[in-house]
Every structure is written in C-alpha cells, then in structure tokens.
C-alpha cells in the first residue's frame, strides 16, 4: 500500500497506514504530575537522567497512582525525589505531551506547592543528576517537554505560579 501508483491516493493511503501503525505502537496516555515548589521566590528544577527526557530540566513529579489524590501525589513525589515537605498545593495548568521518538503520550497535571521543610537533595540518583533553586525566568536549558508546554500555557494565559 505504501507504493500504490495512484497519485490521488498514495499520500492518503500512506498517512492512514502510518497513523494506524503509530496508534498501535503508542500506548494510551499516562497521567504525569509536575510540582512548582516555591521557596523564597524561586522554584526547584532538576536535571533528569535516563532515556526519557535525559539531560533536560524538569520539576519534581512523577505518575499519579491508582486511587491517589492529586495533593497526595504531589506531596509523595516531591518528598521521594527531593526530601522536601510541601503544603498549600493548588492546580496551575494541564498539558498534552506527546514524545514522538519514545512513543509516549502523557497528560501532565501541574500544581504549585509551598515549601514547608527539608533540604533539597538528590534522593533518586538514577533519575536526577542535581536540583537547583532558580527563578521562573531563568530555568536552565534544555527544558523537559511537559514543563516547556506548561510554561507556554502559563505565559499565553497569563497565569501565576
């Protein structure tokens, strides 16, 4: 079908076949979560390790577990990854993130939380190289796709973090 000689249908046939293959290879979207941890006017970002976004800068976060509330997930992920305790968690923005090269699709929920206690450290060295406190307009490059999409939405909608 990809080599069909009909010029009117070759593009359509190719597109339909390619999108069918893509939908078979791509899993259903997963629910990811990122947390803007705020302390002294700065947010916490970490340099990711591993194949999924390795070398990019991201917020602490992870996957929403079955039956878990958003607030519990935010607190759990931040504590597990950074050793920090949060309070006053509230939603910021949600993004639709497709990682074409990895065949992954995420719906990422972004929240903000206030720092309550603890010192940030790399609690999961297999997944994160380092944590840094930075201002929102000085996040190091390159930025992890979901965070990049979130920042675009925040700017476009003039939301506050």
Question: What does the pLDDT read at residue 155?
Answer: 94
Question: What does the pLDDT read at residue 25?
Answer: 54
Question: What does the pLDDT read at residue 12?
Answer: 45
Question: What does the pLDDT read at residue 154?
Answer: 96
In this structure, the strands spanning 104-117 and 30-39 are parallel
- Indicate the pTM of the whole model: 0.83
Tokens of 123: 């609690």
Question: What does the pLDDT read at residue 27?
Answer: 76
Question: What does the pLDDT read at residue 16?
Answer: 47
Question: What does the pLDDT read at residue 132?
Answer: 98
Are 105 and 99 in contact by the 8 Å Cβ rule? The answer is yes
Residue 125, burial from CB neighbour count under 10 angstroms (0-12, 13-18, 19+):
exposed
Q: Would you give per-residue pLDDT tens digits along the chain (161 residues)?
A: 444 444 444 544 444 445 454 454 567 899 999 999 999 999 999 999 987 899 999 999 999 999 999 999 999 999 999 999 999 999 999 999 999 988 999 999 999 999 999 999 999 999 999 999 999 999 999 999 999 999 999 999 988 88
| H or E element that contains 25 | helix 10-25
CA 100 to chain centre: 14
Cβ count near 109 (within 10 Å): 22
Tokens of 65: 């577990």
């Amino acid at each position: 079908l990809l080599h069909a000689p009909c010029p009117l249908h070759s593009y359509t046939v190719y597109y339909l076949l390619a999108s069918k293959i893509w939908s078979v290879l791509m899993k259903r979207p997963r629910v990811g979560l990122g947390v803007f941890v705020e302390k002294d006017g700065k947010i916490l970002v970490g340099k990711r390790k591993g194949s999924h976004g390795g070398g990019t800068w991201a917020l602490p976060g992870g996957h929403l577990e079955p039956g878990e509330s958003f607030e519990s997930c935010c607190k759990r992920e931040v504590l597990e990854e950074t050793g920090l305790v949060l309070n006053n968690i509230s939603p910021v923005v949600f993004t639709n993130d497709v990682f074409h090269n990895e065949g992954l699709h995420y719906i990422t929920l972004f929240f903000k939380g206030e720092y309550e206690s603890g010192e940030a450290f790399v609690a999961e060295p297999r997944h994160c190289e380092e944590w840094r406190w930075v201002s929102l307009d000085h996040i190091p490059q390159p930025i992890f796709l979901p965070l990049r999409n979130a920042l675009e939405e925040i700017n476009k909608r003039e939301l506050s973090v």
